[in-house]
């Protein structure tokens, strides 16, 4: 199918692709990845269901008949999308995309589950929408590498609004005009600044849920006939210039092989509940721990890093060495390195108020510093490096050349389901197998929206 008509805008080209999609057109690999994303997100929602940030989000909801995953209450469609998206992203344990970075499932799945109930969709359409939205989000991330973060915005929040809107439109079987208008409207609802980095506050947690609810509204308005700008991406005041002014968009990445190659098939599932680029450093530190390196007599611990992640995961260095909140610790590379060296693991129970007061972890954090490696491949790949320099002049060093859970070392189906069961248990749910069975039915494109109710039990 051709997508390169010169007179077409970016959103018109995307709309032409969207109307051509069908559940039958998805490859086995894309269906499998979409199913695994669904499973991962449902497990994460359950894991976070008793947290204070989910309670606060629920308290701000409106009544309705849409489910909240792992809860008995019913709320409005937009509130369901907001709560589920916030819960899924709350512990930063959700999927990521090397090349972005963006988190797909936390926006797309809550949006599509809410849309499925709102529009009474079959699960074949739900899973098609998850695939379509996820693919667009990953391609938008490739189109604007590093630039959205550089401008002070959260790429998942901004780009996710467009992607979830597109996913809902495809699932709904919208025509091209409606898709173009929906994307145009989405441009005025996209938001999400990264000021949370300064104090470890909660707003990053709500970004995917806000994007999911914005997508519902954007599509509903377009379907009702509301008119949006056709050049919402590339226009003079469009998303590319507004959210990524430092670069020329790599639009070829958006359309190259579109409809034939699904880049979402390479999505990474996180092994640890913390910031994406911290994870390879944890693995490098754990390699050193496995060698039984000494943790006393250390002069300093130096990590090679990419310039593009310094402002989020390394600076201000004193704050990163002593995270003010348990949530801030998830975006501290020094804290991740300390966990790997001192504990040999980084689990949900390691990012707590008690952990950020642990004397041994703080001692090691205070020793961690960084140096920029100009040859670091970020954002094409996420790597880690830890070098321990001892007072006696000796050195111990370890590298992690890729992020575990990604294309070079993917998690198996058993590991993904094992993570799901562990998250469900962490959330105090007594029947992981029933939830997993419901996810498998939805993921297999069987049945209709009624099955989604099973996720609330």
Q: What is the pLDDT of residue 200?
A: 86
* Same domain, residue pair 134 and 233: yes
Kind of pairing between the strands at 395-400 and 63-67: unpaired
**Residue given tokens 């490096």 in the structure block:** 385
Q: ∠ CA 182-449-87 to the nearest 5 degrees?
A: 70
* Same domain, residue pair 118 and 241: yes
* Same domain, residue pair 362 and 435: no
Largest interatomic CA distance in the chain: 73
* Same domain, residue pair 89 and 189: yes
Q: Give residue 427's pLDDT band: very low, low, confident or very high (50, 70, 90).
A: very high
Kind of pairing between the strands at 395-400 and 384-390: antiparallel
Residue 169 lies in a domain: yes
Residues with Cβ within 8 Å of residue 52, at least 6 apart in sequence: none
pLDDT tops 70 at residue 212: yes
Q: What is the pLDDT of residue 6?
A: 56
Task: Report the domain count for the chain.
Answer: 2
Residue 396 lies in a domain: yes
What is the domain-level CATH number for residue 25?
1.10.4100.10
Residue 5 lies in a domain: no
262-292 pLDDT tens trace: 999 999 999 999 999 999 999 999 999 999 9
* Same domain, residue pair 254 and 301: no
pLDDT tops 90 at residue 68: yes
376-401 pLDDT tens trace: 999 888 999 999 999 999 999 999 99
Q: Give residue 134's pLDDT band: very low, low, confident or very high (50, 70, 90).
A: very high
pLDDT tops 70 at residue 228: yes
* Same domain, residue pair 68 and 21: yes
Q: Give residue 3's pLDDT band: very low, low, confident or very high (50, 70, 90).
A: very low
Q: How far is CA 359 from CA 115, 178, 322, in A?
A: 47, 57, 11
Residues with Cβ within 8 Å of residue 137, at least 6 apart in sequence: 97, 102, 104, 107, 108, 156, 159, 160, 162, 163, 164
Q: Give residue 363's pLDDT band: very low, low, confident or very high (50, 70, 90).
A: very high
* Same domain, residue pair 103 and 19: yes
Q: What is the pLDDT of residue 2?
A: 45
What is the domain-level CATH number for residue 300?
3.30.1330.120
12-40 pLDDT tens trace: 999 999 999 999 999 999 999 999 999 99
For residue 291, which phi and psi values (nearest 5 degrees)? -90, 5
Residue 268 lies in a domain: no
Range of the domain at 198: 10-262+412-456
* Same domain, residue pair 417 and 382: no
Of 372, 400, 428, the domain-final residue: 400
342-360 pLDDT tens trace: 999 999 999 999 999 999 9
What is the overall mean pLDDT for the chain?
A: 96
* Same domain, residue pair 198 and 229: yes
The residue among 249 and 7 whose pLDDT is bigger is 249
Residue 204 lies in a domain: yes
* Same domain, residue pair 127 and 84: yes
121-132 pLDDT tens trace: 999 999 999 999
159 close to 207: Cβ distance less than 8 angstroms: no
Mean pLDDT of 424-443: 97
Total residue length of the chain = 457
Residue 18 lies in a domain: yes
* Same domain, residue pair 394 and 429: no
**Residue given tokens 């993917």 in the structure block:** 410
pLDDT tops 80 at residue 240: yes
Radius of gyration of the chain measured on its C-alpha atoms: 21
C-alpha 226/C-alpha 235 separation (Å) is: 19
Kind of pairing between the strands at 298-305 and 368-372: parallel
* Same domain, residue pair 19 and 120: yes
Of 400, 420, 447, the domain-final residue: 400
């Amino acid at each position: 199918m051709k997508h390169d008509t010169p007179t077409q805008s970016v959103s018109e080209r995307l709309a032409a692709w969207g109307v051509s999609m069908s559940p039958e057109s998805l490859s086995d690999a894309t269906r499998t990845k979409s199913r695994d994303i669904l499973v991962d997100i449902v497990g994460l929602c359950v894991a976070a269901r008793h947290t204070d940030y989910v309670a606060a989000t629920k308290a701000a909801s409106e009544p309705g008949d849409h489910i909240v995953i792992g809860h008995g209450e019913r709320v409005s469609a937009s509130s369901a999308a907001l709560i589920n998206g916030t819960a899924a992203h709350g512990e930063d344990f959700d999927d990521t995309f090397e090349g972005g970075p963006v988190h797909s499932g936390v926006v797309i799945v809550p949006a599509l589950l809410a849309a499925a109930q709102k529009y009474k969709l079959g699960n074949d359409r739900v899973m098609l929408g998850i695939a379509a939205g996820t693919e667009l989000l990953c391609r938008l991330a490739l189109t604007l590498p590093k630039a959205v973060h550089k401008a002070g915005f959260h790429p998942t929040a901004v780009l996710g609004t467009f992607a979830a809107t597109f996913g809902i439109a495809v699932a709904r079987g919208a025509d091209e005009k409606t898709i173009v208008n929906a994307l145009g409207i989405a441009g005025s609802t996209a938001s999400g600044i990264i000021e949370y980095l300064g104090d470890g506050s909660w707003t990053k947690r709500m970004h995917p849920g806000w994007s999911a609810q914005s997508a519902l509204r954007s599509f509903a308005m377009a379907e009702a006939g509301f008119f949006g700008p056709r050049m919402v991406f590339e226009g003079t005041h469009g998303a590319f210039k507004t959210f990524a002014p430092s670069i020329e968009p790599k639009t070829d990445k958006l359309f190259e092989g579109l409809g034939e190659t699904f880049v979402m098939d390479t999505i990474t599932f996180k092994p640890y509940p913390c910031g994406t680029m911290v994870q390879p450093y944890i693995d490098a530190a754990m390699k050193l721990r496995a060698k039984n390196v000494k943790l006393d007599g250390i002069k300093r611990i130096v990590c090679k890093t990419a310039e593009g992640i310094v402002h989020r995961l390394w600076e201000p260095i004193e704050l990163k060495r002593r995270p003010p909140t348990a949530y801030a610790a998830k975006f501290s590379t020094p804290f991740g390195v300390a966990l790997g060296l001192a504990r040999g693991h980084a689990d949900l129970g390691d990012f707590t108020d008690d952990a950020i007061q642990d004397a041994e972890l703080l001692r090691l954090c205070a020793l961690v510093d960084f140096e920029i490696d100009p040859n670091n491949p970020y954002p094409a790949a996420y790597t880690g490096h830890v070098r321990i320099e001892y007072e006696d002049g000796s050195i111990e060093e370890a590298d992690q050349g890729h992020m575990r859970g990604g294309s070079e070392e993917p998690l198996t189906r058993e590991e993904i389901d094992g993570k799901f069961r562990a998250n469900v248990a962490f959330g105090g749910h007594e029947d992981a197998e029933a939830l997993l069975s419901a996810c498998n039915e939805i993921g297999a494109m069987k049945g209709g929206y009624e099955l989604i109710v099973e996720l609330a039990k």
